[in-house]
Structure 1
Amino acid sequence: MQVNIFGLRSCCFGIANMILVRRMREKLYDALLLQDISFFDEETVGDLTSRLGADCQQVSRVFGTDLNMIARNVVQGTGALIYLFILSWPLALSTLVICSALATIMLIHGQYQKKAAKLSQELTACANEVAQETFSLVRTVRAYGMEKHEFGRYIKWLGLLSNVYLRQSMAFGFWSSSFNFLYHSTQVIAVLIGGISIISGRITAEQLTKFILYSEWLIYSTWWVGDNWSSLMQSIGASEKVFLLMDLLPSNQFLSPGRRLQKLEGHVDFVNISFRYPSRLMVPVLRQVSLSVHPNEVVAIAGLSGSGKSTLVNLLLRLYEPTDGQILVDGVPLVELDIKWLRERIGFVGQEPRLFRMDVSSNIKYGCPREVTDEEVEWAAKQANAHEFILSLPNGYGTLVDDSLLSGGQKQRIAIARAILREPNILILDEATSALDAESEHYVKRVLRLVQNGSNLRRTVIIIAHRLSTIQAADRIIVMDRGRIVEMGDHMELIQKDGLYARLAKRQTDAFA
C-alpha cells in the first residue's frame, strides 16, 4: 500500500512538473517575442536561449523532486516528533534542539546555494554565448586562425564557473559534516539521558530503543528536508532571471489595437525626426530630418556609412520610436496605426537577409498575409531572378535552406522574392542589391522600372544603397550625411550640383576604372 501511495504521489508531482515547465517556457518565449527591438540590442542570444533551456529545466526539479521529497519528509518527521513526545518529552526536547540547529544550518546553506546557483546560471549563459558566437562565425574564426583565442575565451568562463561549483561543494561538505556531528550527538544524548531515565524508572529499555529509532527517523527526515531545501534554493536562484523576464510587459505597439485604414496609399512623411539609439544615448543618429515620400514614388537614400539611412527605415517599420518628431503614413501618425496591419503591407529586404532553416518555398512564403499558390511563389522568384538557381538546387523549391548551401547574393534574391510575393503597398530595399552580381542587379532594377512605369506592381519604393548604379533611375535621390539631409534631386541634378553625391559617384567610377 505504501509503495502504491509513493508511486501515485511521484506520478502526480511528475505530471505537475511537466505542465509547469511547459507553461513557463511558453510564457517566457511569448514575453520575449513581444519586447522592443532595443531589448534585443542589450540582451545576448546566448543568455536568452540559456534562460529558455537550462534555467527552465532547473525549475523542473522544484516539482519533480524537491517539493515532492520535502512534503514527504515533513510529514514523516512531524509524525516521528509527535511520537517522541509521547514516549518521553525530555528526550524529545533534546532531539528537537538538535534538529533546530540542523534546520538553522540548512537555511543558511540554502540561501548560499541560491546565490551560487544564480551566479552559476549567469556564467553558464556567458559561456553559451561565446560558444554560440564562435560556431556561428566559425568560417571567420578559421580564416583568421583564432581557434586558440576562442578556446581561451570559453575556458575563462568555465574557470569562473568551476570556482562557483567548488565553493558549492565545500558548502555541501560543511552541511554534511554538520549533519553527521549532530546525528551522532543525538545518539549520545539519547543514550545518556535515556540511561538515567531507565535507572530512575521513568522509561523502559523498550521505550528507549523505540525512541532512538524514531529520533533517527526524525534526524534523517530533517536531513532530507535540508538537502532538498538546498536544491530548491538552487532552482529558485537559477530561475530568478526567468521570472523577471516573464514579468516584462509587451512593447507598447502590441498593447493598443491601433487604426486600420481602408486603403494604404503609401504616402510617408518624416516630420522633424531626431533619434538616438537607447544603447547609445550620447550619439545622435538623426537630427531634425523632414522628408515626404509620395505614393508610387521611387525614392533612393544615399550617403556615407553611419549617416542614418537604415535608421529611417527602422523607424518607419517601428522597430524603434523616434526621440523627437513623428512619422505620418497617409496623414495618420504611425503610433496610431495597427502595426501588424501596416507591416503586412510593407515589403522589406534588409542588408543581410537571414533565411530560416526550412525549404526555399516556405522561406519565400514567410510572413505573407494571404494564402499563395506554388505558381505565385515561382512568379515572385522569377521577378527576383531567383527561379533558375532554385531549380538547380537538389530538391528545387523543396530544398532545405542551409547557410553553406546558398551564397549571399542567392539569399538576397530569395529575400527580394519574399518581399515581392506580399504585393506590398510600400517596398523597402535596404542595401538589397549589395551582394548581387551585375546580371542579378539588372533584373532587380527591371522590377523597379516596372514600378515606375505604372504596371500592376506599382507601389511606393524606398531604396537604400551604397552602389549608386542601383539608384540612378529613382524619381528622387536623398543624400544624407551625419544624420541630416544635405542634398535632394534626381541623378543628373545631383551630379551637376557637384556636392557629396557627385563625389561619391566619382569615387565609385574611379574604383571601377
Structure 2
Amino acid sequence: MCYRRNMQVKIYGLRGCCFGIANMILVKRMRETLYSSLLLQEISFFDGETVGDLTSRLGSDCQQVSRVIGNDLNLIMRNVLQGTGALIYLLILSWPLGLCTLVICSSLAAIMTVYGMYQKKTAKLIQEYAASANEVAQETFSLMRTVRVYGTEKQELKRYNHWLDKLAEVSLRQSAAYGVWNLTFNTLYHATQIIAVLVGGMYILAGHITAEKLTKFILYSEWLIYSTWWVGDNVSSLMQSVGASEKVFQLMDLLPSDQFISEGMALQKLQGHIEFVNVSFQYLSREMVPVLQHINLSIHPGEVVAIVGLSGSGKSTMVNLLLRLYEPTNGQILIDGVPLNELDIKWLRVKIGYVGQEPKLFRMDISSNIKYGCTRNIKQEDVEWAAKLAYAHDFITLLPNGYNTLVDDDLLSGGQKQRIAIARAILRDPTILILDEATSALDAESEHNVKGVLRSVRSDLSSRRTVIVIAHRLSTIQAADRIVVMDGGQIAEMGSHNELLHKNGLYARLTRRQTDAVV
C-alpha cells in the first residue's frame, strides 16, 4: 500500500514538473510572438492603441495564460481520468444507479458550461478595465511634474478610481456567479447521496445488490461528483484565462506591415533626389480633415531645403511620409526616380539620418545611444567625432562616467539630449539628413553651433547630403538653398530667404513677427 502511494506521489510530481516546463516554454514563446507582432505593425496602429494597454497584454494577460498549462489542464486531465474510471465502476456495480448519477453529473456539466462562458466574458472585461487603470497610472507617473505643478492629484485619483470601480463591479458579479455555482454543486451533491441511499435501499430489499455494493457505490459516486466539480471549477478557470487572453491572440494574429514582408529594391548608390508628386494625406482617425493637399516638390541631391510654416500646416507630416511611417492617401514620393514603396525600406532607413523635435534616448550609456541603429562597425573614435560635430563632446566629457554614463531623464537637459540625437544622426553618415525642429530645445549658443553643423554639411564636397530642415526659428534656416513655406497643407511660397522677403508674403510676415518678438 505504501509502495503504491509512493508511486502515485512520484507520478503526480513528474506530471506537475512536465506541465510546469511546458507552461514556462508556452509563456516565453507567447510573449516573444506578441512582442514581435507588435513591433512589426504600422505606426497608425500605435496611434490607436495605448502604451498601458499593450504592456498589460504583454504582462498580466500572458501570465494569465500560464494558468491554463501550469494548473488548469493539469487538474482537468487528472480529474477526467479519475471521474471516467469511477463512472465505469459505478455502471459495473449497478447500471440503473450509475445512470442516475450520470444524469446528475450531466446537469452539473451543463451548468458548468454556462458558468464557464460567463467567466470568460467577465475575465475579458476585467483585463480591459485593469489595462485602462494601468494606462491612467502610467500616464500620471510619467507626467508627475505636470500633475504636481497644476495640483491635479485628486483629479488623477478620480480618473484611476473610475476604472477601479468598474473593475470592482465586474469582480462582484463574478463572485456572485461563483456563489451560485457552488450552491448548485452542493445541492446536486447531496441529492446524489439521497438518491443513492433511497434507491439503493430499495434495491437491497429487492435483493438486486448487497449492502457492501451500495457502500462502494456511494463512495465512488462521491468520487465521481467531486471529480466533476473539480473539472467544472478548472474549466471555468480555463475559460477565464481564455477570455483574458482573447485580446492577446487577436494581437498575435495581426499581419506585419507590408514594409516588412514585401521585398523592395536597393539602389546601387543613393543620390538623394526626392520628389513629392501630387501628394495628399489625411490620418485614418480624421479622414475628413486633409493634412496635405496636392504637394509637388522636387529636392535635388546635396540641396539644403527648409520647410517652414504655422503649426499644423503639414511640415512634420511631409517628413513622416518620407520616412514611410505613413503612406500617402494620393500621389507618390520618388527617391532617385523610384517610388518610395518599391524600395527596400530597411536599406533606405540606413541611408537616412533623422533628428526629431523631442528626441527620446534609451536607458543605456551615451555611447550606445549615439551608436544606436548603426549597422556598420563603429569605433569609439567615430562616436567622439560625431559628438564633436554636434557640439556634444564637451558636456559629455564632464559627466561622471563620460561616454559610459547611463542616460537618465534628470541627468540631461532637453538641449543636451537633442545634441546627442544629432550626433546619432551624423554618425550614420546619411545621404539624406532630416532635422525636424532639431534646434527647438537649444539655447542661442547651441543653435549657433548647429548652424555650424549645417554649414559643414554643405561644404563637405566628399559626402554631399540632401538636407531637410523643419524649423520655427527662421534664423536657423536663412542660409538654406530653398525655403518652402507651408500653409493649410499646401505649399504657399518657395524661394531663397531674400526672394521670399521681397515677395512680402507669409514668410516675410512670419519673419517680422519673430523679429518683433525678440525686440
Fold-level match, TM-score > 0.5? Answer: yes
Cα deviation per residue 1:440-475 (whole Å; 9 max; x = unaligned)? 111111111112223445311000000001101101
Q: 1:364-392 deviations in whole A, cap 9, x for unaligned?
A: 00001211111110111111111111112
Matches within 5 A, 1:20-169: 20-169=26-175
Structure 1 residue runs without a partner (length 5+): none
Amino acid at match of 2:191: S
Aligned match of 2:24: 18
Q: Is the 8 A contact 1:296 1:451 kept in 2?
A: no
Of residues 352, 356, 360, the one that matches 1:354 is 360
| Distance of 2:137 and 2:189 partners within structure 1 | 46
- Separation of aligned partners in 2, 1:482 and 1:350: 22
The amino acid of 1:122's aligned partner reads E
1:45-444 aligned at under 5 Å gives the runs: 45-444=51-450
Aligned residue for 2:272, secondary structure, equals: coil
3-state DSSP of counterpart to 1:412:
helix
| Separation in 1, partners of 2:71, 2:112 | 18
String of CA shifts for 1:104-148, please: whole Å, max 9, x gaps: 110000000000001111111111110111111111111111111
Aligned length: 513
State the one-letter code of the partner of 1:56: C
- Kindly provide the amino acid, as one letter, of the partner of residue 242 in structure 1: V
> Do the aligned residues in 2 keep the contact of 1:273 with 1:323 (CA within 8 Å)?
yes
| Equivalent in the alignment of 2:457 | 451
Give the distance between the partners of 1:289 and 1:121, measured in 2 at CA: 45
Is this contact kept in 2: 1:450–1:457, CA < 8 A? Answer: no
Aligned-partner SS, 1:479: strand
TM-score normalised by length of structure 2: 0.98
1:357, distance to aligned residue in structure 2 (A): 0.7
Match of 2:4 in 1: none
- Which of 472, 481, 499 is 1:475 aligned to? 481
Contact 1:349 1:432 in 2 (8 A): yes
1 CA distance for matches of 2:462 and 2:69?
60
Equivalent residue letter for 1:192: L
Query: Matches of 1:21 and 1:343 in 2, distance apart?
Result: 33
Q: Which amino acid in 2 is paired with 1:117?
A: A
Tell me which amino acid in the other structure corresponds to 2:470: I
Residue 405 of structure 1, CA deviation: 1.2
After superposition, give the CA deviation of every residue in 1:181-208 in whole Å (9 maximum; x if it has no partner): 1111111111101111111111111111
Aligned partners of 1:487 and 1:494 also within 8 Å: yes
Q: Which residue of 2 aligns with 1:507?
A: 513
Q: Which amino acid aligns with 1:322?
A: P
Pick which of 302-311 and 369-378 moved more.
369-378
Structure 2 segments unaligned to the other structure (5+ residues): 1-6
Report the counterpart of residue 3 of structure 1 in structure 2: 9
Amino acid at match of 1:364: I
* Whole-angstrom CA distance in 2 between matches of 1:433 and 1:456: 26
The answer to whether the Cα contact below 8 Å between 1:297 and 1:475 also exists between their aligned partners in 2 is yes
Paired with 2:210 and 2:277, the residues of 1 have a C-alpha distance of: 95
Aligned residues of 1:475 and 1:490 also touching (Cα < 8 A): yes
Could you state the TM-score of these two structures normalised by the residue count of structure 1?
A: 0.99
Q: Distance in 2 between matches of 1:137 and 1:229?
A: 42
Given that 1:349 and 1:429 are in contact with CA atoms closer than 8 Å, whether structure 2 keeps it comes out as yes
Counterpart secondary structure, 1:404: coil
Identity %: 75
Find the aligned partners of 2:412 and 2:159 in 1 and give their Cα distance. 30
Which deviates further from its counterpart, 186-195 or 456-465? 456-465
Q: Per-residue displacement from partner, 1:221-248 (whole Å, max 9, x unpaired)?
A: 0000000000000010011111111111
C-alpha separation between the residues in 2 aligned to 1:181 and 1:389?
Answer: 76
SS at match of 2:271: coil
- Give CA-to-partner distance per residue, 1:393-429, whole Å, 9 cap, x none: 1211111111111111111001000000000000000
Alignment-mate amino acid for residue 246 of structure 2: E
